[in-house]
Structure 1
Amino acid sequence: MAFAHLGASWAPCGRLTLVEDGHKLLASRFAYGLNYARRNDALEVDPVSLGLTDREPILGRELLPAAQLPFFGGIRDAAPDSWGRRVIEAKLKVPANSLPESQYLLHAGSERIGALDIRPDINALPTAAGSPWHTLEHLMEAAERIEAGHPIPHHLEAIFIDGTALGGARPKASVRDDEGVLWLAKFSSRQDAFDVPAIECAALQLARQAGLTVPPVYTLMLGNRRLMLIRRFDRYWATPGEALNPNSDLLSSLPGPGKVEHRLGFVSGLTLVACDETESRTKSYADLAEAIRRYGHPAVIRQNTEELYRRMIYNIFVSNDDDHLRNHGFLWDPRLPGWRLSPLYDVLPRPSHATERFLHLEAGPQGRLASLDNALAAHARFTLSQETACLLIAEVWRIVRQWRVFFDQTGVPDQEQAKIAPAFRHIDDISSKALRKLLTEA
């Protein structure tokens, strides 16, 4: 049974059927509940396959995923990814990737990304998660044990609640600060070649300076180990029934008298582009821009398209090639109401000495080549003029060229900066003389 968090409470929204053969998912079906589908505030589970713009034709019907996919993208986004699956497998003491998809979905818990929950039946209760701040050291120790393949002792079992619902491959857990605000704690990994929490935090803060929307983020030392804390952007605090100010900042909302935690619907770029994960590398930033125009709220389409272009430019400058479709997200914003590009997340510069580098997604007509000429050639597919695209490139470069200053300010040690330095590109290395002239004129 699928549930959606509307206002300040859960509501059953529909019946999900998965057809499985062992651990392989063959097909999916979904039927909205009639009462839910008639609610004015109903959240669409998947805007591509399960949209609620025209409701009458879908009432009482079982619907199938778009593009003949076996899974609904919106449900897949609510499922645990690589790390969450490892935690569930450690909890159940089973081999890697041995469970059917339904079991991963059901064991993920209710603090999963977005505003959906999947439970066995309509009477099942939500699970609480988000351990208090002071348990961070225990969560870190549990994550290290899972990475090493060691059993989890009883006093560390909070990781089975706080670490199951999360995406990505890196060890992480949800925690609440002393005020009750939900954060994502990202830990170091045994395989790290440099101080990843410090570098990722600094890269996100640098991105904010470059004009990108970034949640509050900082690092914390526990003994001699560093972790990164980033505020969950799919949660905000408000009085139930309160009409939100269109200019309010949900990322800075705090608990207070009469306020409760609300959830924002979330879908990934993979869902809006309507493809399988194995096809991600064949897609482009322009495909995401088209998805913004198709599914985004009209009031934010231009702003979101410009931000996506700026994001692509930033990834080129810092050699972030982990920019796959699941690392771009969209939120249902109740202030519009409608879908908009989510804040930036999962940005990590990758050191390289290669002259020619590539993104995960295609940047322009030269495919995935990480060059500014390639990105500029695609400006029309973002509905940007060449002049605007050049201005965005110039603005990002003015900040990124000072990356060492920002990394110093965020406390990244010199030896860690030296390790990461080869990731950062000088503009002359990734642009032609003709483009440099255009940027000078911008």
Structure 2
Amino acid sequence: MTSDAVFVWTWLPGTTDPVVAGRLVASGPSHVFNYGRSYLANPAAISLFTPELPLAPGAHQPLPGLTLPGCLRDGSPDGWGRRVIEHHLKVSENSLSEIDYMLASGSNRLGAIDFQESATQYVPRGSQASLDELVDAAELIQAGKELPPELDAAIAHGTTIGGARPKVLVRGADGVQWIAKLSTSSDFVQSQPNAEAMCLELARRVGIEVPQWRITSSNGRTVLLVRRFDRTPAGHRRHVVSGLTMAGEDEMAARYVSYPRILETLIARKATGAPHPGPLLFRRIAFNMAISNFDDHARNHAAFWDGEHLTLTPAYDLVPTARSGEEGAQAMAYGPHSTDKQSTLRDLVQHHAVYALTRTEALEVVEQTIDTIEAEYDSAADLAEVSRHDRAVMWRRQILNVGTTRGWNA
């Protein structure tokens, strides 16, 4: 595969059929995007993301420091998806071009875009395999083993959701689409899918919007199903951009992205009269600290894009992280300085004004988060079918670690 150009198709708001939006061309290490004339002439057309690709004719270069518009990179496979594609094509790690990864991955990707070889004919690439078959295939890939031919292409076309952990896409008998998240041998608990389900439930009880979820099994293995929030019951696809794209950075510069930087973009692009996003983001940071989620990097935050405005998506990837002792740090700074990462609720409260909160309001959020987790831990764990062993492993280590809660209200 040596493609140097790809056509970008998109689903416009409220529609169920895609239209071609433009063409992405590799130019050395960079990529240039042009909207198509038919798209620009469409009265319903929207910008794919105005800060990067305003709805206007001409060549759109990536923002400084990027080689590819972030809103298009958001739809390309990440670590796990690339690993599956490389296994399928029998090529070495990171050996394909970005466009080749786009064309080798499935069409049911994050948000409302897809990548095609043609500007006139849309040919979806998808998987018809069952959950059991896809889970089996994912485990074989993790073990470095060959897949049966009938599963090889199926799993390659079913891994277009981002992230580094193994996951597959499945559709229920009722047409509802789910992300099936699997365990790995490196997990610090016996079943990370159950632990993540528990944290999703705790987040909901704390007052954070999260996707619908359920625990199921596949050939005796636990699987967490998380309902896709970028798909509507009517079959529409919703445009989504990551926190990394909102910050105008790529993976190589992700360490420079902070919560305040993402918040600036959310404020600048919020609809008139919409609530300030600061308090919502503050509550999510407090919860991430409370469950020791140190993988709260910019790709683990996202917002819906309607062509003009941004709105935070439901929270996702709320996963406790292995830790020892009382020290911990968030993946992104929550204050104005790059060193403002210490995972202590006390320190977070000091930056209340950044999130449009008074100190009293910030303390109330933290108190409510702690009180709810303490009161609801066992109930949420029961619902998520967390084992007694894993509950004991996580309590006061990952969940409400003493280093995180000490002096929070000082």
TM > 0.5 fold call: yes
Which stretch shows the higher mean deviation, 319-328 or 292-301? 292-301
Instruction: Summarize the alignment of residues 75-224 of structure 1 with structure 2, pairs less than 5 Å apart.
Output: 75-129=72-126, 131=128, 135-157=130-152, 158-163=154-159, 165-194=160-189, 195-224=191-220
Code of the residue aligned with 1:48 in structure 2: it is: P
Aligned residues of 1:401 and 1:426 also touching (Cα < 8 A):
no
**Corresponding residue for residue 290 of structure 2:** 317
- Flag the structure with more relative contact order, 1 or 2, with Cα contacts below 8 A and sequence separation at least 6: 2
Code of the residue aligned with 1:236 in structure 2: it is: T
Aligned residues of 1:111 and 1:130 also touching (Cα < 8 A):
no
**Corresponding residue for residue 382 of structure 1:** 355
**Counterpart among 347, 353, 360 of residue 331 in structure 2:** 360
Aligned residues of 1:284 and 1:363 also touching (Cα < 8 A):
yes
Q: CA 1:296 to 1:107, structure 2 compared with 1: closer, same or farther past 3 Å?
A: farther
Q: In structure 2, what is the Cα distance between the partners aligned to 1:306 and 1:266? A: 21
1:415 correspondence with 2:410: no
Shift of 1:170: 1.1
Q: In structure 2, what is the Cα distance between the partners aligned to 1:40 and 1:409? A: 48
Q: In structure 2, what is the Cα distance between the partners aligned to 1:131 and 1:12? A: 25
Aligned residues of 2:370 and 2:400 also touching (Cα < 8 A):
no
Tell me the SS of whatever aligns to 1:220: strand
Aligned residues of 2:196 and 2:318 also touching (Cα < 8 A):
yes
Aligned residues of 2:346 and 2:409 also touching (Cα < 8 A):
no
Aligned residues of 1:397 and 1:427 also touching (Cα < 8 A):
no
**Counterpart among 246, 266, 277 of residue 292 in structure 1:** 266
Q: Deviation per CA, 1:240-296: give whole Å up to 9, x if none.
A: xxxxxxxxxxxxxxxxxxxxx100001100001001212222222111211111223
**Corresponding residue for residue 372 of structure 2:** 399
Aligned residues of 2:135 and 2:218 also touching (Cα < 8 A):
no
* TM, length-normalised to structure 1: 0.85
Shift of 1:357: 1.1
Shift of 1:119: 1.0
Q: In structure 1, what is the Cα distance between the partners aligned to 2:39 and 2:219? A: 49
Shift of 1:333: 5.0
Tell me the SS of whatever aligns to 1:29: strand
Q: CA 1:109 to 1:351, structure 2 compared with 1: closer, same or farther past 3 Å?
A: closer
Q: Deviation per CA, 1:55-108: give whole Å up to 9, x if none.
A: xxx32x101111241110001001000011111111111111111111001112
Which stretch shows the higher mean deviation, 269-278 or 218-227? 218-227
Shift of 1:370: 0.9
Code of the residue aligned with 2:198 in structure 1: it is: A
Q: CA 1:427 to 1:420, structure 2 compared with 1: closer, same or farther past 3 Å?
A: closer
**Counterpart among 46, 51, 54 of residue 51 in structure 1:** 54
Code of the residue aligned with 1:149 in structure 2: it is: G
Instruction: Summarize the alignment of residues 300-315 of structure 1 with structure 2, pairs less than 5 Å apart.
Output: 300-302=274-276, 304-315=277-288
Aligned residues of 1:219 and 1:229 also touching (Cα < 8 A):
yes
Q: In structure 1, what is the Cα distance between the partners aligned to 2:404 and 2:208? A: 23
1:341 correspondence with 2:312: yes
Tell me the SS of whatever aligns to 1:9: coil
Shift of 1:400: 1.7
Aligned residues of 2:334 and 2:341 also touching (Cα < 8 A):
yes
Shift of 1:378: 1.5
**Corresponding residue for residue 4 of structure 2:** none
Q: In structure 2, what is the Cα distance between the partners aligned to 1:297 and 1:431? A: 38
**Corresponding residue for residue 227 of structure 1:** 223
Tell me the SS of whatever aligns to 1:298: coil
**Counterpart among 55, 68, 78 of residue 71 in structure 1:** 68
User: Percent of aligned pairs with the same residue?
Assistant: 32
Shift of 1:380: 1.5
Aligned residues of 2:188 and 2:322 also touching (Cα < 8 A):
no
Shift of 1:190: 2.8
Which stretch shows the higher mean deviation, 345-354 or 213-222? 345-354
Q: In structure 2, what is the Cα distance between the partners aligned to 1:179 and 1:354? A: 46
Shift of 1:331: 1.0
**Corresponding residue for residue 242 of structure 1:** none
Aligned residues of 1:48 and 1:271 also touching (Cα < 8 A):
no
Shift of 1:175: 0.7
**Corresponding residue for residue 440 of structure 1:** none
Aligned residues of 1:305 and 1:382 also touching (Cα < 8 A):
yes
**Corresponding residue for residue 272 of structure 1:** 246
Aligned residues of 1:129 and 1:174 also touching (Cα < 8 A):
no
**Corresponding residue for residue 3 of structure 2:** none
**Corresponding residue for residue 246 of structure 1:** none
Shift of 1:419: 2.4
Q: In structure 2, what is the Cα distance between the partners aligned to 1:401 and 1:378? A: 24
Q: In structure 1, what is the Cα distance between the partners aligned to 2:161 and 2:288? A: 23
Shift of 1:431: 4.2
* TM, length-normalised to structure 2: 0.91
Aligned residues of 1:283 and 1:361 also touching (Cα < 8 A):
yes
Tell me the SS of whatever aligns to 2:389: helix
1:17 correspondence with 2:13: no
Aligned residues of 2:293 and 2:330 also touching (Cα < 8 A):
yes
Q: In structure 1, what is the Cα distance between the partners aligned to 2:259 and 2:283? A: 11
**Corresponding residue for residue 350 of structure 1:** 321
Aligned residues of 1:18 and 1:29 also touching (Cα < 8 A):
yes
Which stretch shows the higher mean deviation, 166-175 or 388-397? 388-397
Aligned residues of 2:343 and 2:404 also touching (Cα < 8 A):
no
Q: In structure 1, what is the Cα distance between the partners aligned to 2:167 and 2:38? A: 37
